[in-house]
Amino acid sequence: MDIERVGIVGAGQMGNGIAHVMALAGYEVRLNDLDRETLDAALEKIGRNMDRQVRKGAVAEADKEAALARITPTLEISDLGACDLVIEAATEREEIKQKIFDALLPHLKPGTILTSNTSSISITRLASRTDRPEKFMGFHFMNPVPVMQLVELIRGIATDDETVAACRAVVDRLGKTAASAEDFPAFIVNRILMPMINEAVYTLYEGVGSVQSIDRSMKLGANHPMGPLELADFIGLDTCLAIMNVLHDGLADTKYRPCPLLTKYVEAGWLGRKTGRGFYDYRGETPVPTR
């Protein structure tokens, strides 16, 4: 099927990045959120990020202006009803995602493909609660969306071949690379990445190394561009904990038990960059370790 209009639910960090790349690829985008301030902030961020691409010569000024004109913000989820593809990009909590799908379904065309940007939740289970499990799949972008080249495509047990082909064609049009993942907890990237981050937190918790020594060791010893604790702050510690809980609950293996220190940071509201404090304190000019 031909996809030309894309609806995105959630204008936060992931949603505005998805809107950015979709609009640059020529899709008409309807960006939905419950909050006007969040929508305004998303459009401002998209504009800033596109300006950066213009300065680098990656995007022409005319293409930037045309892309921005293709993004329509809306507070009404019903406005996404005419879209050919809808991508849910809300917070990583299954009950919230389910409420979004329940609100969307009465407005969608019969042929609309429904997808989730979830990084860990069962696609089969999400799809089973809709009226179109055969036209539902996981569409997992990496953060930051305009920069990262990979998109995980996760097929639920009922997803049909036409839906998979249509979503793969979208990834190709974005100039990104698709990786097919089976519908098991956390899929591929986070199945491998989150236990590494969790183990780094255990290493800190047990006093094996400091925040700085752990991050420095992985950057210089394993050639990682960011240390695991720095990366956890970038992702959001609440998201890391949520994914570890999905792994622990879904696979029933104690090796996925979230580190108590990670839980403590989340309980304190120290979620990383987005709250100003996590394993580093970002409130000054230079990030400072909090332990």
Q: Which of 116, 122, 140, 198 is catalytic?
A: 140
The 10 Å CB-count burial string (b at 16+, else e) for 182-202 is: ebbbbbbbbbebbbebbebbb
Of the residues 32, 117, 152, 230, only one is catalytic, namely 152
11 is in an annotated binding site: yes
SS3 190: helix
**Active-site residue, 152 included:** yes
- Residue 274, annotated as binding a ligand: yes
Residue 14 annotated as part of some ligand binding site: yes
Q: Is position 15 annotated in a ligand binding site?
A: yes
Q: Is 26 annotated as a binding-site member? A: no
| Catalytic-role residue among 16, 49, 120, 190 | 190
88 catalytic? Reply is no
| Ligand-binding site membership of 10 (annotated) | yes
CA 269 – CA 41 distance, rounded (Å): 22
Is 78 one of the catalytic residues?
no
Q: Flag whether 149 is marked binding.
A: no
CB atoms near residue 279 (< 10 Å):
28
Residue 198 known to be catalytic: no
The token duo for 147 is: 């920069």
Instruction: Name the catalytic one among 16, 49, 117, 119.
Output: 119
For residue 89, the cross-strand partners are none
Dump strand ranges (E) for the chain. 5-9, 28-32, 71-74, 85-88, 113-116, 136-141, 150-155, 177-181, 280-281, 288-289
- How would you class 229 by CB atoms within 10 Å of its CB: exposed for 0-12, middle for 13-18, buried for 19 or more? buried
**222 annotated to a ligand binding site:** no
In which residue are the tokens 């940007």 written? Answer: 117
- Establish whether 97 is an annotated binding residue: yes
- 12 annotated binding-site participant: yes
Q: Binding site: residue ranges?
A: 10-15, 33, 92, 97, 119, 143, 274
- For the annotated catalytic residues, the residue numbers are 119, 140, 152, 190
Residues annotated in a binding site for NAD(+): 10-15, 33, 92, 97, 119, 143, 274
